[in-house]
């Protein structure tokens, strides 16, 4: 016996034969106990179905233990579609059981289960809320009270949460953003405690105003609005206290400037009459509500927040910056008119309307946030709302369109049972998902911007890694939550601004101009936009952000930059800001190591993309909510975990560059471990740390653990220049006799000094390559010359002059000497890939011989 969603829309119900008298809310622990029992007996819980489809099987009308329910309530979404049921069972001893009945999908099959919906759970009455967009909200405890309250207060959207007084923290309160909320508690201590907890949660969700109804002390214990009213407290008394609370919830005092009045018919201005009498009332615009005044965290950008309904009944909230009203009043009016607010276009009236926007005052204050992330120690901003501790000032997001992919679909449970579970045994997938949680903890670790670049051939799974990581924060775009590298520098700044302290995914590095790739990586990591001047010549305020990047591409940053027409060497700082990682895990499955029963690596990649498109946008906010619950504790835990990882990962003689990268890998490990402790991800403790360590060791081997990266780049550059330009070297033959130091006549056969240098070939074992200043500068363009000489000397390849000078004096003709940079031919044997594990310095030759720290010149020089 049951019903489809279509039947539900038509008012039919599988429990129609059961008493439909509305029952009171029940045991807060029942639903959670059901979850625990289910976990104990069924390891694969499947995916929760948040909207019952037409092809769903009918639910059973009785419970195996409790029999048939006495009351049933249908939870519906804003469109009126069925989400799930909550059933009441009356016991013989007078007790009751309240158990949710929810729909789940496992292995493609739908089944009804006596268990609660995943956290955060939907509210009861979302369909009422959607049907009354301008009405205040009345929150009561229990479905029975909600139905009674809807009859008593038809001008309110009456709602409740599931699970009872102790489960308020498990509800999804995001729909309360921007609403005026009144909370009617049960008349006992537990009810008052629950109401206070709900007040804080609703306020943190961004409600316009919240108030708790104070009930008289003489009411019966546990009384609610579904019970019989006492003689001394009737319906009118309840209505009075609720009305008083609503006035408190609509906190704020509006001060209209002289001569103006806001009526239901519109905004009016009263003209001056003759002889001091009041003149006629002139309408300036349609009516709108002044909600509050707002400003940025720094006290600038003072703005007016207004709200109105367009002619289709759609509610619009607009942020009107007063600086723009002062300088471009016409543009402000045009924008409001475009959004559906009629403004009289008569010349004098438009000026009066602009004056009103400048002069009106409101005592209520909001904080404006133009970017995502923390705006102070206790408030984290997302486009969908603010996650904050109790009693925090409401925040209004005023960000760019780059943040539009912060959407939600599916459920956290569905995400955990797919992507979260599949990460176990796959270090790259674990690492990518853990990386998505780093944004909110970057400031705690003092971590600079930057990220990781997954490099690999087509179809290795790197794009699937990006989709999985992005699903932590949102999705729904062509690239899921991701964006494309193909954008101008200014556009990338805007994208970064909308992903501060969350996650920025940039797909396919090859799409950005190679000439701009390095600068883009630097700019994104630096966290600061370009300096731009105002019309008066003063500098505008720079955009600032702190962003964690996950990039993908078939080639790495250094290779891509070398493809530029005016190719320049890759700075080590660029490589350290965007750490290059191989997407191939080396197990023969591309990016994967465990396929979790999938037929092939391609099938596993497709499953990851499918799951990322079905469940997204819940894990990131859940992670932040967990942090906000005890910021001091979790900050210490993050710092402890990150420091522990670095201590475990480091090796003796690691360079400072390796240590710097280890800090970023440690942040990934810490974020993944804290996410597991908070119950956001389902993997066991230690999983994220192990994945981060494996990825770090793989990266460090490729980068080179010993010595500075720049020093190795110098050796490679000089070696390659000699190999590529052998034909450009002439010869110089010196006599070995001590009394004849002049160069031989053959020196005249040498190429002109515009060439790179000369080969000194006294004997093969002492062959060296000589570079004059112009040639030296040509091959080491972009390097610090002094540092380059020191690196070659340290490696044993530069033959120093008298006093340790980097250049030697060489005889180039009769009675003629010149100083050259002199490089030993042994540099041709230098192999940068044989550094690790050799036990030698950065100049270890391929045959294992250790060069001297400073090479002495051949006899006779």
Helix or strand run (H / E) with residue 810:
strand 808-813
The pLDDT assigned to 702 comes to 76
The pLDDT assigned to 766 comes to 63
Please check whether residues 444 and 509 belong to one and the same domain.
yes
Specify the 3-state DSSP secondary structure of 846.
coil
The domain in which residue 219 lies consists of 126-249
Please check whether residues 429 and 571 belong to one and the same domain.
yes
Please check whether residues 216 and 294 belong to one and the same domain.
no
Please give the Cα distance from 176 to 158 (Å, whole number): 12
Please give the Cα distance from 454 to 29 (Å, whole number): 44
Reference 144, options 67, 87, 214, 65; nearest CA is 87
Please give the Cα distance from 598 to 608 (Å, whole number): 11
The pLDDT assigned to 317 comes to 87
pLDDT confidence band for 241 (50 / 70 / 90): very high
Please give the Cα distance from 740 to 731 (Å, whole number): 18
Please check whether residues 242 and 291 belong to one and the same domain.
no
The answer, yes or no, to whether residue 517 has pLDDT greater than 60, is yes
Q: Which residues in 16-43 are b (16+ Cβ under 10 Å) and which e? A: eebeeebbbbbbbebbbebbeebeeeee
Please give the Cα distance from 743 to 820 (Å, whole number): 15
The answer, yes or no, to whether residue 529 has pLDDT greater than 80, is no
Last residue of a domain, one of 598, 629, 660: 629
Helix or strand run (H / E) with residue 419:
none
Report H helices in 14-173: 30-41, 126-131, 143-152
Taking each helix axis from N to C end, the angle separating 427-436 and 656-677, rounded to the nearest 10 degrees, works out to: 80
The pLDDT assigned to 750 comes to 30
561 vs 508, 521, 522, 606, CA distance in Å?
14, 11, 13, 31
Q: Is residue 843 part of a domain?
A: no
φ/ψ of residue 190, rounded to 5: -65, -40
Cβ atoms of 209 and 249 within 8 Å: the answer is: yes
Question: How many domains, in total, are found in the chain?
Answer: 5
Q: Is residue 613 part of a domain?
A: yes
The answer, yes or no, to whether residue 34 has pLDDT greater than 60, is no
As a whole-number percent, the residues of the chain with pLDDT over 70 amount to 78
Helix or strand run (H / E) with residue 443:
none
Please check whether residues 103 and 213 belong to one and the same domain.
no
Report H helices in 597-746: 601-614, 619-629, 631-649, 656-677, 687-703, 709-724
DSSP per residue, 519-552: HHHHHHHHTBPPP-B-TTSPBPPPPB---EEEEE
Mean pLDDT is highest, among 72-76, 566-570, 821-825, for: 72-76
* Per-residue DSSP letter, 170: G
Q: In degrees to the nearest 10, what's the CA dihedral of 788, 794, 795, 801? A: 80
Please check whether residues 55 and 135 belong to one and the same domain.
no
The answer, yes or no, to whether residue 355 has pLDDT greater than 90, is yes
What's the pLDDT tens digit per position in 257-303?
999 998 888 999 998 777 667 778 999 999 998 888 999 888 888 99
Q: Is residue 636 part of a domain?
A: no
Please check whether residues 425 and 474 belong to one and the same domain.
yes
Specify the 3-state DSSP secondary structure of 704.
coil
* β-strand pairing of 315-321 with 180-183: unpaired
What's the pLDDT tens digit per position in 302-344?
999 998 888 888 888 899 999 999 999 999 999 999 999 999 9
* β-strand pairing of 578-582 with 730-732: unpaired
Taking each helix axis from N to C end, the angle separating 687-703 and 427-436, rounded to the nearest 10 degrees, works out to: 100
Q: Find all residues with CB under 8 Å of 760, minimum gap 6, and list them.
A: 731, 732, 734, 766, 767, 768, 770, 810, 822, 858
The pLDDT assigned to 33 comes to 40
Please check whether residues 101 and 147 belong to one and the same domain.
no
Q: CATH no. for residue 231?
A: 3.40.1360.10
pLDDT confidence band for 827 (50 / 70 / 90): confident
Verify cis geometry, omega within 30 degrees of 0, for the bond prior to 82: no
Q: Is residue 335 part of a domain?
A: yes
Query: CA 676: distance to chain centroid?
Result: 18
Please give the Cα distance from 451 to 547 (Å, whole number): 8
Report H helices in 294-445: 322-327, 329-338, 347-359, 412-415, 421-422, 427-436
Q: Is residue 384 part of a domain?
A: no
The pLDDT assigned to 812 comes to 62
User: Integer distance in angstroms from the first to the last C-alpha of the chain?
Assistant: 103
Residue 828 has a CB neighbour count (10 Å cut-off) of 18
Query: CA 357: distance to chain centroid?
Result: 35
Please check whether residues 440 and 562 belong to one and the same domain.
yes
Please give the Cα distance from 575 to 560 (Å, whole number): 12
Reference 184, options 232, 235, 133, 257; nearest CA is 235
What's the pLDDT tens digit per position in 773-808?
877 887 787 777 787 788 788 878 888 888 788 888
Q: Find all residues with CB under 8 Å of 794, minimum gap 6, and list them.
A: 711, 841, 842, 843, 853
User: Can you tell me the mean pLDDT for 227-245?
Assistant: 91
Across 205-219, 350-364, 530-544, 667-681, least confident range: 530-544
What's the pLDDT tens digit per position in 807-816?
887 766 666 7
Q: CATH no. for residue 497?
A: 3.40.50
Please check whether residues 227 and 280 belong to one and the same domain.
no
φ/ψ of residue 13, rounded to 5: -145, 140
Q: Is residue 377 part of a domain?
A: no
Last residue of a domain, one of 249, 274, 301: 249
What's the mean pLDDT when you consider all of the chain?
80
DSSP per residue, 36-74: HHHHHH-S---EE-SS--TTPPPPPSSBTTTBS-SEEEE
Q: Is residue 236 part of a domain?
A: yes
DSSP per residue, 352-389: HHHHHHHH-EES-EEEEESSSEEEETTEEEETTEEEE-
Please check whether residues 262 and 232 belong to one and the same domain.
no
Please check whether residues 201 and 161 belong to one and the same domain.
yes
Higher per-residue confidence, 54 vs 833: 54
291 vs 71, 178, 262, 363, CA distance in Å?
41, 10, 13, 10
The pLDDT assigned to 257 comes to 93
User: Can you tell me the mean pLDDT for 696-713?
Assistant: 75
Q: Is residue 681 part of a domain?
A: no
pTM above 0.75, yes or no: no
């Amino acid at each position: 016996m049951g019903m489809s969603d279509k039947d539900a829309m038509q008012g039919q119900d599988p429990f129609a034969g059961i008493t439909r008298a509305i029952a009171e809310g029940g045991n807060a622990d029942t639903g959670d106990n059901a979850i625990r029992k289910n976990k104990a007996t069924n390891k694969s819980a499947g995916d929760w179905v948040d909207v019952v489809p037409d092809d769903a099987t009918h639910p059973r009308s009785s419970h195996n233990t409790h029999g048939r329910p006495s009351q049933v309530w249908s939870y519906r979404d804003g469109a009126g579609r069925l989400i799930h049921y909550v059933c009441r069972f009356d016991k013989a001893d007078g007790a009751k059981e309240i158990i949710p009945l929810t729909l789940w999908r496992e292995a493609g099959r739908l089944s009804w289960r006596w268990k609660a919906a995943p956290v955060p759970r939907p509210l009861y009455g979302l369909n009422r809320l959607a049907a009354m967009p301008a009405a205040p909200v009345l929150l009561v405890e229990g479905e029975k009270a909600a139905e009674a309250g809807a009859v008593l207060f038809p001008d309110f959207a009456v709602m409740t949460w599931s699970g009872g007084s102790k489960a308020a923290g498990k509800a999804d309160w995001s729909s309360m953003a921007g609403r005026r909320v009144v909370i009617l508690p049960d008349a006992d201590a537990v009810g008052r405690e629950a109401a206070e907890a709900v007040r804080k949660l609703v306020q943190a969700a961004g409600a316009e105003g919240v108030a708790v109804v104070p009930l008289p002390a003489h009411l019966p214990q546990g009384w609610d609005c579904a019970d019989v009213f006492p003689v001394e407290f009737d319906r009118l008394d309840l209505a009075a206290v609720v009305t008083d609370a609503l006035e408190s919830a609509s906190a704020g005092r509006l001060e209209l400037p002289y001569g103006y009045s806001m009526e239901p018919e519109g905004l009016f201005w009263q003209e001056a009459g003759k002889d001091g009498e009041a003149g006629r009332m002139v309408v300036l615009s349609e009516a709108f509500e002044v909600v509050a005044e707002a400003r940025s965290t720094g006290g600038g950008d003072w703005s007016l927040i207004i709200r109105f309904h367009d002619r289709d009944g759609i509610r619009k909230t607009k942020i009107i910056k007063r600086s723009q009203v002062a300088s471009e009043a016409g543009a402000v009016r045009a924008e409001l008119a475009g959004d559906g607010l009629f403004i009289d276009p008569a010349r004098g009236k438009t000026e009066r309307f602009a004056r009103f926007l400048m002069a009106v005052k409101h005592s209520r204050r909001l904080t404006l946030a133009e970017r995502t992330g923390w705006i102070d120690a206790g408030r984290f901003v997302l486009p969908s709302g603010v996650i904050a501790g109790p009693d925090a000032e409401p925040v209004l997001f005023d960000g760019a369109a780059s943040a539009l992919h912060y959407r939600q679909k599916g459920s956290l449970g569905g995400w955990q049972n797919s992507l979260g579970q599949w990460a176990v045994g796959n270090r790259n997938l674990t690492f990518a998902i853990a990386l998505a949680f780093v944004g909110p903890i970057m400031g705690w670790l003092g971590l600079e911007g930057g990220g990781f670049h997954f490099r690999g051939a087509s179809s290795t799974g790197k794009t699937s890694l990006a989709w999985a990581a992005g699903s932590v924060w949102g999705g729904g775009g062509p690239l899921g939550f991701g964006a494309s590298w193909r954008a101008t520098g200014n556009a990338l700044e805007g994208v970064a601004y909308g992903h501060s302290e969350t996650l920025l995914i940039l797909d396919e590095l090859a799409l950005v101009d190679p000439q701009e790739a390095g600068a883009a990586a630097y700019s994104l990591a630096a966290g600061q936009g370009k300096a731009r001047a105002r019309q008066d010549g003063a500098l505008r305020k720079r955009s600032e952000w702190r962003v964690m990047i996950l990039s993908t591409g078939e080639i790495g940053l250094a290779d891509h930059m070398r493809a530029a027409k005016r190719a320049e060497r890759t700075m080590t700082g660029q490589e350290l800001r965007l750490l290059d990682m191989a997407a191939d895990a080396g197990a023969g499955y591309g990016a994967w190591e465990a396929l979790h029963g999938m037929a092939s690596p391609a099938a596993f990649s497709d499953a990851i993309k499918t799951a990322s498109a079905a469940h997204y946008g819940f894990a990131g906010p859940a992670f932040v909510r967990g942090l906000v619950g005890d910021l001091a504790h979790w900050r210490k835990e993050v710092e402890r975990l990150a420091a522990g990882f670095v201590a475990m990962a480091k090796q003796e003689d690691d360079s400072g560059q390796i240590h710097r990268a280890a800090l970023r890998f440690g942040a990934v490990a810490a974020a993944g471990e804290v996410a597991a402790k908070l119950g956001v991800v389902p993997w066991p403790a230690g999983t994220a740390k192990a994945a981060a360590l494996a990825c770090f060791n793989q990266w460090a081997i490729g980068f080179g653990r010993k010595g500075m990266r720049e020093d190795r780049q110098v050796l490679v550059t000089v070696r390659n220049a000699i190999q590529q330009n052998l034909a450009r070297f002439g010869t110089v033959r010196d006599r070995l006799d001590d009394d004849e130091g002049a160069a031989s006549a053959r020196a005249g056969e040498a190429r002109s000094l515009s060439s790179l240098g000369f080969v000194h070939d006294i004997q093969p074992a002492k062959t060296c390559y000589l570079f004059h200043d112009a040639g030296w500068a040509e091959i080491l363009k972009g390097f610090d010359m002094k540092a380059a000489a020191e690196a070659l000397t340290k490696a044993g390849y530069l033959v120093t002059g008298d006093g340790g000078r980097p250049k030697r004096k060489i005889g180039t003709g009769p009675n003629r000497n010149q100083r050259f940079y002199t490089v030993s031919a042994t540099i041709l044997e230098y192999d940068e890939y044989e550094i690790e594990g050799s036990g030698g310095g950065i100049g270890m030759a391929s045959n294992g011989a250790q060069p001297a720290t400073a090479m002495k010149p051949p006899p006779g020089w």
